[in-house]
Amino acid sequence: MEPNNATSTTPVDQSVLDAAGKVLAVHLSYASRAAQRGRTPEHPSYFMKAASSLSVSGTAVERPAETRALAFEGEVALVIGTTARRVAPEDAWSHVGWVTASNDLGVYDMKYADKGSNIRSKSGDGFTPMGPALLPAASVDPAGLRLRTWVNGELVQDDTTAGLIFDFSRIVADLSQLMTLQPGDVILTGTPAGSSVIVPGDTVEVEVDDTASGLTTGRLSTPVTQGTTAMAAFGNQPRLTDADLIDAYGSEEAAAAAGALSPGAGTGTAGAGGTRPGSAVVLTDELKAKLNAVATATISATLRKHGLNNVSIDGLQPTKTGRKVIGTARTLRFVPNREDLFKSHGGGFNAQKQAIDSINEGEILVMEARGEKGSGTLGDILGLRAQVRGAAAIITDGGVRDLTAVTELEIPAYYSGSHPAVLGRKHVPWDTDITIACGGTTVQPGDIIVADDDGILVIPPAMAEQVAEEALEQERKDEYVFEQVRQGHQVEGLFPMNDAWKAKYAEWLAAGNSTVGQSPAVVQD
């Protein structure tokens, strides 16, 4: 294929893909994208993509199994027409043969493993679709191209090359200083604001047109499918931080709006690298010991004094009795099964597996299953994985399958019933770390959960310390009253205590007679 000055377009076919010796990409080149990132580079920087990532319009792209942050980036792609080596910016455009639309797809779950190279995160098969038509470079205005991207028919990117920080000629000239650009080589010139995460079932379309000539590439179409083959154990496994998710969604605001971030992420409470904040700052060992020293019933009465009556997760039964569980909530929501949604969200590394595989030591996974017991929301394998991760417990207001095996695990589970059916009979795993409803009450990520044979309570973190102190004092009073009744005293005036009994209680307490807090029960944390 020879470059020409004609005004007609040329289809992007396999011969175009085969001619690409290398695929080069610019990190950041549009002012709108730089504004999202909060930084404007002084000079362009680059990365490479495998030529095997190229594909034509209509080719499906697979979101790898066990990943969840596949993102699109609509871009203008340049195809080199004649050899360029150490060319000047004023001559660079003459070495470009064609212009087309492209989609610089990347899976951010593997970004950490690339250490900046983007090799695995950006070079998957089909991760660089191009086309459907090539526009002759000599017939278009490189500063007047319009770039648009649609997801499922909704316009999500709309910018022009007038918004470039680095124009095309500078990019070509800069790259040619250290390498020879050969005919057929592809340069992806960066994406404007608006790129974000896509999921299986979505279709992304990108189009580039030249206002002056009226030439257009047509819409480059890329449907998204779900991969089913997991990464081999001998390599890096998918992993995401909040920082990666912010990059994938384009901005912190977009990631937060999608419910993708950990509780508190971006607000100064997340740890370095975007790790999940948890509530270790709230649920200290000292606070845990206080909560462990008092009965769940006493905590419930204390919460009631503060006006919180609906803080119990009701109707569940435990796999372990005689245990007291204290931890911080992580949340998972199931929605009613709809076959098309289960196809896009139920397979691979879905929200249920993501929640289990990212739970941290001392956390309790709380599931919203709408009280639907007609299929399992937990089985022995995922229960074991949560146990290995150090989770304190699993709570679901749905069913459990493999109940015997789940019961034999060390980790306690609380559930509404057992059922042999798999998840997809009734549920679609939908999202994680959001406010949910479970067993008739509301649970937020970071809430403190206390559970024993009497029931399960949800304590707002902001008032946990005060509740614990008041509950301890009430427990001491109950201990004293119980002892007096055991000795034969009548309850009138004692329960509740009148002034005379209060004075005697104060003396008893000052003498160090209370055992509350001295012999804690077994705590699962």
Q: How large is the greatest C-alpha to C-alpha distance in the chain, in angstroms?
A: 107
Q: How many residues does the chain have?
A: 525
The neighbouring-strand residues paired with 478 are: none
Any idea which of 261-275, 365-379, 458-472, 475-489 has the lowest mean pLDDT? 261-275
- Average the pLDDT over 39-50 and give the result: 92
Of residues 144, 27, 9, the one with CA closest to residue 79: 9
Alpha helices in 225-334 (DSSP H): 242-249, 252-257, 285-292, 296-305
Name which residue leads in pLDDT, 349 or 18.
18
CA distances for 443 relative to 323, 349, 387, 401, 460, angstroms: 21, 24, 21, 24, 9
* Residue 434 falls in which region: left (phi positive, over 0), alpha (psi -120 to 50) or beta: beta
Query: How far is the C-alpha of 429 from the C-alpha of 415, rounded, in Å?
Result: 17
- Average the pLDDT over 500-519 and give the result: 79
Of residues 263, 242, 240, 264, the one with CA closest to residue 251: 242
Query: How far is the C-alpha of 71 from the C-alpha of 101, rounded, in Å?
Result: 16
Strands 61-63 and 317-318: unpaired
The two tokens of residue 68 are: 């969840």
Name which residue leads in pLDDT, 241 or 449.
449
If pLDDT is split at 50, 70 and 90, which confidence band does 506 have? confident
User: What fold does the segment set 10-248 form as a domain?
Assistant: Fumarylacetoacetate hydrolase; domain 2 (3.90.850)
Of residues 104, 66, 62, the one with CA closest to residue 202: 62
If pLDDT is split at 50, 70 and 90, which confidence band does 3 have? low
- Average the pLDDT over 338-351 and give the result: 88
Torsion of the alpha carbons at 506, 507, 512 and 513, rounded to the nearest 10: -90
Q: How far is CA 312 from the centre of its chain?
A: 28
* Residue 152 falls in which region: left (phi positive, over 0), alpha (psi -120 to 50) or beta: left
Query: How far is the C-alpha of 107 from the C-alpha of 109, rounded, in Å?
Result: 6
- The pLDDT value given to residue 38: 77
* CATH 3.90.850.10 location in the chain: 10-248
How does the average pLDDT of the chain come out, rounded? 89
Q: Could you say which DSSP state residue 51 is in?
A: G
Query: How far is the C-alpha of 21 from the C-alpha of 203, rounded, in Å?
Result: 28
Instruction: Enumerate helices (H) and strands (E) in the chain, giving the number of each.
Output: 16, 31
Residue identified by tokens 């294929």 is 1
Query: How far is the C-alpha of 282 from the C-alpha of 308, rounded, in Å?
Result: 19
pLDDT of 228 over the 90 cut? no
- Contact criterion met (CB below 8 Å) for 329 and 433: no
If pLDDT is split at 50, 70 and 90, which confidence band does 479 have? confident
Query: How far is the C-alpha of 19 from the C-alpha of 79, rounded, in Å?
Result: 10
pLDDT 10s digits, 407-442: 999 999 999 999 999 999 999 999 988 899 999 999
Query: How far is the C-alpha of 107 from the C-alpha of 125, rounded, in Å?
Result: 12
- The pLDDT value given to residue 476: 84
Query: How far is the C-alpha of 103 from the C-alpha of 207, rounded, in Å?
Result: 10
- The pLDDT value given to residue 494: 83
* CATH 3.50.30.40 location in the chain: 285-464
Strands 186-188 and 74-80: antiparallel
User: What dotted CATH number matches 285-464?
Assistant: 3.50.30.40
- The pLDDT value given to residue 263: 58
- Average the pLDDT over 2-18 and give the result: 79
The neighbouring-strand residues paired with 24 are: 48, 187
pLDDT 10s digits, 349-372: 888 998 998 898 899 999 999 999
CA distances for 102 relative to 15, 298, 400, angstroms: 16, 63, 46
Name which residue leads in pLDDT, 360 or 281.
360
- The pLDDT value given to residue 519: 45
Per residue, what are the HEC states of 454-474? Answer: CEEEEECHHHHHHHHHHHHHH
pLDDT 10s digits, 125-149: 999 999 999 999 999 999 999 999 9
> pTM of the predicted model, to two decimals?
0.55
Which are the contacts of 61, defined by CB distance < 8 A and separation ≥ 6? 55, 70, 105, 124, 126, 127, 129, 222, 223, 224, 225
Query: How far is the C-alpha of 129 from the C-alpha of 200, rounded, in Å?
Result: 17
If pLDDT is split at 50, 70 and 90, which confidence band does 510 have? confident
Query: How far is the C-alpha of 320 from the C-alpha of 412, rounded, in Å?
Result: 5
The two tokens of residue 377 are: 């929301």
pLDDT 10s digits, 310-339: 999 999 999 999 999 999 999 999 999 999
If pLDDT is split at 50, 70 and 90, which confidence band does 6 have? low
pLDDT 10s digits, 114-128: 888 899 999 999 999
